[in-house]
């Protein structure tokens, strides 16, 4: 099948059961030279990597979605099968198939192997998880397997360079040799139908393609469909259960050969994995199991929420120092403002997510690699299913309480595209850490003191209600989405509970590194562009005459300060200078494009209790929610430093309409604003990552649209019903 | 030891085992179960239930499989 003089790299398809350690092999084979994207139109991850070694051929390695069989019952399985058969548009058909097999679970893994052998393509079997196998007293005999399967079998003791060289060498070797023959014999009516199909087709077709065609999951280009229907109908009428027999025959073949696949000393009965069984007695215990799981999750959450803030804060202060340095170097002026406000803050907006992403993926890596993740799915599935989701949706959703960006990235562990998409669409409803400054501002402004029922502070209660609102909205929306939008059969939960094993730090670190790098590579353009645009909107047009007046005033104060004044006057002058600067920034913002937009949308947000000032804040906070706080500070001409949150809160509470002299905002406005922030997708980074994960702008556009509508309706109801109730 | 009693996997008590007689589910689910190794004549043991009573953990062909009660209902066992 491969041309003798190859000008293109050898294309290798890496395929295996879920949990067989395929990703580790892929990472070890390709290093960091991998591209991750999506197959067009489906939420199925496409991973391709290149392996270049001196003296070896260039291998282009495609990671096929994990699958238990060559059946087509979901979009990811369709991608897997079509890729293997070279039927996916835009994808070259593989020259060699590398089948990763979990050595500790040979029987079930060999089912797929027996099907892959029927693809009529050169193939190599790689035995993974040898450590677990050995612990259970199962030592596969690679030589015996090679003989029975008719393809090279490479046992992997580790994932080091030498082991990978051995895999690559086997790949290069088989690429030159004829493809393997099917090993499982067919009987009865099925063998007649297969012969029938072969007879109708002058060219040969692979056994795998013929079986899929008979199952009705595949057409055969070279055969007109009425002929195929005829063969199919004949088979179904002669033996309606032929497909059960076919699967049974594979396992019969495996059962017959398994004893010879295991080395002599191991032919005694397989030792049960007592370590795993004992651990599960506690970890899956009716009471302790969920408790331990919640404890682990609390630990993970704490990690993203608290620990990540240390490097994030460091990053931020480092960036501020850098900004100051760059600012001094450039000198004041428009270019200075642009570099600081439009470019450097955009870079910071990208990098600030990295600590959370790194920490979450480290945790997920350890949980997956140790085998505990599957236990979490086992425990949570019943609960998540109530909302049309899957047990696997729990970790991404919980992570989204810290930040939706790593949360959405981690939905990749949900194999099924239906539940994965639903999870992506509701994850941003979880109250993330960026909403907390907004909640804090509202609480400080309107619910600072006071107790409910004498024990709980009003502020604490408000916070609790806001978090609960996010969860309730996510639950409701996921039920609605599963019913009306992302329909499709609820995927069956047929999942292996793998034996526990020591996580391998190397594999976990590599996966974390790949994910972090991918995040930066994929979203920095969007985030930089949006940051720069928002800066532009808030800066232009400028009121030059006003800034000139302010500049003269400041000049006068500075010269007075230089001349030397009494400490008392000095302090007054400094305050005065700050007020002038803040006043100027406020005035500039009001007449900028952002101010114009804020005023233009006022009629729309008026029913929510908001005015144009908050409108500007809503617009600006699209960069990141917490920007609302600094923008409102600018609107109210308050400095944006941390110690000014209290003064901002008091300005917020006591702000009066300059015309009527009445209070601008009531506690109800505060609640309405908080509700808006619970429900709205005010986050460009989330939209950028959804675009990256779904492969299209359609879903981020939908996400933004539905959450904005939800937020508007939520705030509208809050404000209007609240007003009625108060009146 | 075996009797002719046929029971559904979802009716098993913890620690009980049986041999697969048939799977009475739509073709796609049946296929999936077969592929996971639940072919006729295979012995299954119910290990435990999840804390909320669903899904189930069973031992089959030397590994541990979880499946939901709905899916387990379709698996008929000879006791």
pLDDT digits (tens, 9 = 90+) for A246-283: 999 999 999 999 888 887 554 444 566 788 999 999 99
Cα–chain center distance at A131: 30
**pLDDT tens for residues A415-451?**
778 888 999 999 999 988 888 888 888 888 888 766 6
pLDDT, residue A168, reads 94
Inter-chain touch B37–A383, beta carbons under 8 Å = no
Instruction: Round to whole Å and give the CA distance between A396 and A405.
Output: 10
Backbone angles phi, psi at A140, to 5 degrees: -65, 145
Position of tokens 């009494």?
A: A566
Question: Which residue of A108, A110, A377 is the best one to mutate when testing the B interface, meaning the one whose CB has the most B CBs within 10 A?
Answer: A108
Residue A3 reports pLDDT greater than 50: no
Out of A107, A379, A494, closest to residue B62 by CB: A107
pLDDT, residue A647, reads 76
- Tell whether A236 lies on the interface with B, counting CB pairs under 8 A: no
Inter-chain touch A492–B67, beta carbons under 8 Å = yes
Residue A8 reports pLDDT greater than 70: yes
Domain ranges of chain A: 10-175, 195-238, 272-427+503-524+535-541, 431-487+592-727, 542-586
Residues 6+ apart with CB under 8 A from A183: A114, A117, A148, A149, A150, A253
**What fold characterizes domain A10-175?**
Rossmann fold (3.40.50)
Inter-chain touch A287–B51, beta carbons under 8 Å = yes
- Tell whether A290 lies on the interface with B, counting CB pairs under 8 A: yes
Q: Compute CA distances A274 → A135, A193, A271, whole Å.
A: 10, 46, 8
Give the total residue count for chain A: 727
Helices marked H in A564-644? 567-591, 593-600, 602-605, 612-620, 627-635
Cβ–Cβ under 8 Å, residues B48 and B14: yes
Residues 6+ apart with CB under 8 A from A163: A28, A156, A157
Inter-chain touch B33–A248, beta carbons under 8 Å = no
Instruction: Round to whole Å and give the CA distance between A636 and A445.
Output: 14
CA distance A592 to chain B (A): 57
Angle at A60 between CA A183 and CA A8, to 5 degrees: 100
- Tell whether B79 lies on the interface with A, counting CB pairs under 8 A: no
pLDDT, residue A2, reads 44
**pLDDT tens for residues B19-77?**
999 999 998 889 999 999 999 999 999 999 999 998 999 999 989 999 999 999 999 99
Q: Residue A543 CB: number of other CB atoms within 10 A?
A: 15
Out of A69, A108, A495, closest to residue B66 by CB: A495
Residue A148 reports pLDDT greater than 50: yes
Instruction: Round to whole Å and give the CA distance between A341 and B74.
Output: 62
**What fold characterizes domain B6-78?**
SH3 type barrels. (2.30.30)
Q: Six-digit token pair at A373? A: 């993740």
Out of A247, A383, A497, closest to residue B52 by CB: A383
Q: Compute CA distances B58 → A207, A288, B75, whole Å.
A: 33, 20, 12
Q: A595 versus A265: which is more confidently predicted?
A: A595
Q: Six-digit token pair at A131? A: 């450590």
B-contacting residues in A 64-83 (Cβ below 8 Å): 68-69, 71, 73
Instruction: Round to whole Å and give the CA distance between A447 and A440.
Output: 10
B-contacting residues in A 481-510 (Cβ below 8 Å): 492-498
Among A183-187, A190-194, A269-273, A633-637, where is mean pLDDT lowest?
A: A269-273
Q: Six-digit token pair at A39? A: 């197959």
pLDDT, residue B60, reads 93
- Tell whether B71 lies on the interface with A, counting CB pairs under 8 A: yes
CA dihedral A694, A695, A697, A702 (to 10 degrees): -20
Out of A71, A107, A377, closest to residue B37 by CB: A107
**pLDDT tens for residues A32-56?**
777 777 677 666 778 899 998 887 8
- The angle, 0 to 180 degrees and rounded to 10, between the axes of the packed helices A372-385 and A288-302 is 100
**pLDDT tens for residues A530-586?**
888 888 888 888 777 888 888 888 888 888 888 877 888 888 888 888 788 778 878
Listed residue (A91, A93, A87) closest to A39, CA to CA: A91
Q: Six-digit token pair at A357? A: 């992403």
Q: Taking the model in full, what pTM does it have?
A: 0.82
Listed residue (A512, A506, A514) closest to A158, CA to CA: A506
Which residues in chain A touch residue B32, judged by CB atoms under 8 angstroms apart? 68-69, 71, 73, 492, 494
Which residues in chain A touch residue B61, judged by CB atoms under 8 angstroms apart? 107-108
Highest mean pLDDT (candidates A71-80, A228-237, A263-272, A443-452): A228-237
Give the residue on A whose Cα is nearest the Cα of B34: A247
- Tell whether B52 lies on the interface with A, counting CB pairs under 8 A: yes
- The H or E element spanning position A149 is helix A142-149
Residues 6+ apart with CB under 8 A from A253: A114, A183, A184, A185
Helices (H) and strands (E) in chain B — how many of each?
Answer: 2, 6
- Tell whether A378 lies on the interface with B, counting CB pairs under 8 A: yes
Which residues in chain B touch residue A381, judged by CB atoms under 8 angstroms apart? 50, 54-55, 66, 68
Q: A529 versus A238: which is more confidently predicted?
A: A238
Residues 6+ apart with CB under 8 A from A386: none
- The H or E element spanning position A146 is helix A142-149
Paired strand residues for A97: A13, A123
Instruction: Round to whole Å and give the CA distance between A410 and A403.
Output: 11
Give the residue on A whose Cα is nearest the Cα of B51: A286
Cβ–Cβ under 8 Å, residues A681 and A687: yes
Backbone angles phi, psi at B35, to 5 degrees: -65, -30
Among A226-235, A307-316, A341-350, A690-699, where is mean pLDDT lowest?
A: A341-350
Instruction: Round to whole Å and give the CA distance between A639 and A627.
Output: 14
- The H or E element spanning position A208 is helix A207-215
List of long-range contacts for B61-65, beta carbons under 8 Å, 24+ apart: B61/A107, B61/A108, B61/B37, B62/A105, B62/A107, B62/A270, B63/A105, B63/A107, B63/A108, B63/A496, B63/A497, B63/A498, B63/B37, B64/A276, B64/A496, B64/A497, B64/A498, B65/A494, B65/A495, B65/A496, B65/A497, B65/B36, B65/B37
**pLDDT tens for residues A318-351?**
888 888 888 888 877 778 878 877 788 778 777 8
Residue B55: asked if its preceding bond is cis (omega within 30°), the reply is yes
Cα–chain center distance at A503: 22
């Amino acid at each position: 099948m491969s041309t003798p003089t190859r000008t293109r790299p050898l294309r290798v398809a890496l395929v295996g059961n879920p949990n067989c350690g395929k990703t580790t092999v892929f990472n070890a084979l390709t290093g960091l030279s991998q591209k991750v994207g999506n197959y067009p139109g489906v939420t199925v991850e496409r991973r391709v990597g290149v392996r270049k070694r001196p003296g070896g051929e260039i291998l282009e390695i495609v990671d096929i979605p994990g699958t238990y069989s060559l059946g087509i019952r979901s979009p990811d399985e369709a991608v897997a099968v079509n890729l293997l058969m070279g039927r996916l548009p835009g994808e070259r058909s593989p020259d060699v198939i590398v089948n990763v097999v979990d050595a500790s679970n040979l029987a079930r893994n060999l089912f797929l192997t027996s099907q892959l052998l029927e693809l009529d393509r050169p193939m190599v079997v790689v035995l993974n998880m040898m450590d677990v196998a050995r612990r259970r007293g199962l030592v596969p005999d690679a030589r015996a397997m090679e003989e029975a399967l008719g393809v090279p079998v490479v046992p992997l003791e580790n994932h080091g360079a030498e082991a990978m060289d051995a895999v690559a060498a086997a790949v290069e070797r088989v690429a030159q040799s004829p493809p393997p023959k099917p090993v499982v014999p067919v009987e009865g009516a099925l063998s007649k139908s297969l012969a029938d199909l072969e007879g109708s087709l002058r060219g040969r077709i692979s056994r795998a393609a013929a079986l899929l065609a008979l199952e009705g999951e595949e057409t055969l280009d070279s055969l007109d469909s009425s002929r195929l229907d005829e063969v199919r109908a004949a088979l179904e009428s002669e033996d309606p259960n032929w497909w059960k027999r076919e699967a049974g025959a594979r396992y019969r073949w495996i059962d017959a050969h398994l004893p010879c696949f295991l080395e002599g000393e191991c032919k005694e009965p397989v030792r049960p994995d007592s370590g795993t069984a004992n651990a599960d007695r506690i970890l899956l215990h009716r009471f302790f199991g969920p408790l331990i799981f919640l404890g682990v999750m609390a630990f993970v959450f704490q990690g993203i929420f608290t620990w990540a803030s240390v490097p994030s804060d460091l990053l931020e202060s480092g960036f501020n120092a850098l900004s100051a340095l760059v600012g001094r170097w450039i000198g004041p002026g428009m270019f200075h403002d642009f570099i600081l406000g439009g470019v450097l803050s955009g870079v910071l907006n990208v990098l600030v997510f990295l600590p959370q992403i790194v920490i979450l993926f480290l945790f997920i890596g350890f949980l997956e690699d140790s085998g505990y993740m599957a236990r979490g799915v086992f425990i949570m599935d019943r609960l998540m299913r109530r909302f049309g989701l899957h047990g696997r949706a729990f970790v991404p959703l919980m992570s989204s309480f810290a930040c939706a960006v790593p949360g959405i990235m981690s939905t990749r562990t949900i194999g099924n595209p239906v539940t994965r998409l639903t999870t992506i669409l509701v994850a941003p409803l979880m109250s993330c850490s960026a909403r907390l400054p907004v909640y804090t501002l509202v609480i400080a402004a309107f619910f600072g003191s006071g107790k409910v029922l004498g024990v709980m502070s009003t502020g604490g209660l408000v916070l609790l209600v806001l978090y609960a609102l996010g969860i309730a909205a996510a639950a409701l929306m996921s039920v609605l989405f599963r019913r009306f939008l992302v329909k499709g059969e609820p995927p069956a939960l047929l999942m292996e509970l793998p034996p526990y094993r020591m996580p391998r730090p190397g594999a976990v670190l590599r996966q974390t590194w790949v994910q972090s790098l991918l995040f930066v590579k994929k979203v920095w353009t969007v985030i930089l562009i949006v940051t720069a645009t928002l800066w532009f909107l808030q800066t232009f047009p400028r009121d030059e005459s006003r800034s000139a007046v302010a500049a003269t005033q400041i000049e006068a104060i500075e010269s007075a300060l230089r001349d030397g004044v009494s400490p008392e006057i000095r302090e007054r002058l400094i305050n005065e200078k700050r007020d002038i600067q803040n006043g100027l920034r406020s005035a500039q913002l009001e007449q900028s494009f952002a101010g114009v937009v804020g005023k233009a949308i006022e009629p729309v947000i008026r029913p929510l209790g908001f005015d144009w000032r908050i409108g500007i804040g809503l617009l600006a906070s699209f960069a990141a929610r917490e920007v609302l706080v600094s923008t409102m500070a600018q609107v109210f001409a308050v400095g944006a430093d941390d110690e000014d949150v209290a003064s901002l809160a008091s300005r917020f509470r006591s702000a009066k309409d300059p015309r009527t002299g009445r209070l601008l905002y009531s506690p109800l406005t505060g609640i309405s604003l908080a509700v808006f922030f619970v429900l709205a997708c005010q986050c460009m980074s989330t939209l950028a990552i959804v675009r990256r994960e779904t492969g299209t702008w359609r879903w981020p556009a939908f996400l933004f649209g539905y959450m904005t509508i939800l937020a508007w309706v939520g705030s509208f109801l809050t404000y209007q019903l609240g007003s009625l109730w108060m009146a | 030891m075996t009797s002719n009693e046929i029971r559904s996997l979802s009716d098993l008590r913890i620690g009980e085992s049986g041999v697969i007689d048939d799977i009475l589910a739509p073709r796609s689910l049946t296929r999936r179960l077969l592929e996971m190794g639940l072919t006729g004549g295979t012995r299954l043991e119910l290990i435990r239930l999840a804390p909320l009573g669903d899904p189930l953990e069973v031992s089959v062909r030397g590994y541990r499989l979880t499946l939901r009660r709905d899916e387990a209902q379709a698996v008929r066992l000879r006791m």
